[in-house]
Amino acid sequence: MANTKDYHDYVIKDGKFVGAFEEMYQNVEDPWHQTEEAAHSYSRMDTVNSIRRFHLGTVLEAGCGLGHFTNYLQAHCPSSKIIGMDIAPTAIEKAKASFPKLSFIAGNLKDLDAILASHGFAPDGIVFSEIMWYILQDLDVILEKTKKALLSTGGVLLINQVFYHGGQRYGREFFTTQEEMMDYIGWDVLARTRSETADVTSSYETHTVLRPRR
């Protein structure tokens, strides 16, 4: 039986990164309420629109978790091939069990080149699905490998990320707004949206589409 420990404590606690994602998925049934949130997010609906707009044939969703958003994307983008990837093998096992017709792989974005080579595909689009705060320690390496993969196909990076109004503690030395994130990455911005959540004093969702420069 899963314990009652707050899933946040496995990820970021007291302003410090923990990153125990495998342990979290072993012990928490539904972190981030994924079973409910896949279709209830403006930025996720924007992702569907971007996949269609930019005619992305093969899309890798990094940070797929239990696979509910992967399933949502595939259902709304039937002409595309959506592949879910997560760093936690247990999450991938659960995603495969829930959505056996979809494709899921376990892996770390730091090893993106090796993962793509071993699975034999080149993505037209890569989605960072609410993971920016969790990859900051390796962000430069991950961006470089993402850039290499996308330059090979002329593809784009789609970033969904929540930002906080004045209350953000972790990651402030990197960026605290969508604009600062775009400046940090330094790629060409093809599209961007911002949507306030129900509590406008707390946070807002963003969706950003970027193309790497040669």
Look at the domain 37-211 and name its fold.
Answer: Rossmann fold (3.40.50)
Taking residues 106-118, report their average pLDDT. 97
* Structure tokens given for 131: 């993971």
Ranges of H-type helices in the chain = 21-27, 34-37, 42-53, 68-76, 89-98, 112-119, 139-151, 178-185
Question: What distances in angstroms separate CA 129 from CA 43, 52, 70, 102, 165, one per listed residue?
Answer: 10, 17, 10, 17, 20
Query: What integer pLDDT is reported at residue 198 of this predicted model?
Result: 57
pLDDT band with cut points at 50, 70 and 90 for residue 15: confident
Burial of 82 (0-12, 13-18, 19+ CB in 10 A): buried
Query: What integer pLDDT is reported at residue 2 of this predicted model?
Result: 44
Mean pLDDT, the chain, rounded, equals 92
Q: Which residues pair with 86 in a beta bridge?
A: 106
pTM score over 0.85: yes
Higher pLDDT, 41 or 98: 98
Q: Where exactly are the structural domains of the chain?
A: 37-211
pLDDT band with cut points at 50, 70 and 90 for residue 101: very high
Q: What pLDDT, in 10s, does the model give residues 151-208?
A: 999 999 999 999 988 767 789 899 999 999 999 999 999 999 998 765 555 888 999 9
Q: What is the CA radius of gyration of the chain?
A: 16
Number of H helices and E strands in the chain, helices first, is: 8, 9
Number of alpha carbons in the 13 Å side-chain half-sphere of residue 195: 16
Query: What integer pLDDT is reported at residue 196 of this predicted model?
Result: 78
Answer whether 121's CB lies under 8 Å from 83's CB. Answer: yes
Query: What integer pLDDT is reported at residue 1 of this predicted model?
Result: 40
Q: What pLDDT, in 10s, does the model give residues 39-60?
A: 678 888 999 999 999 999 999 9
Instruction: Give the C-alpha separation, 25 to 162, whole Å.
Output: 21
Backbone angles phi, psi at 133, to 5 degrees: -65, -20
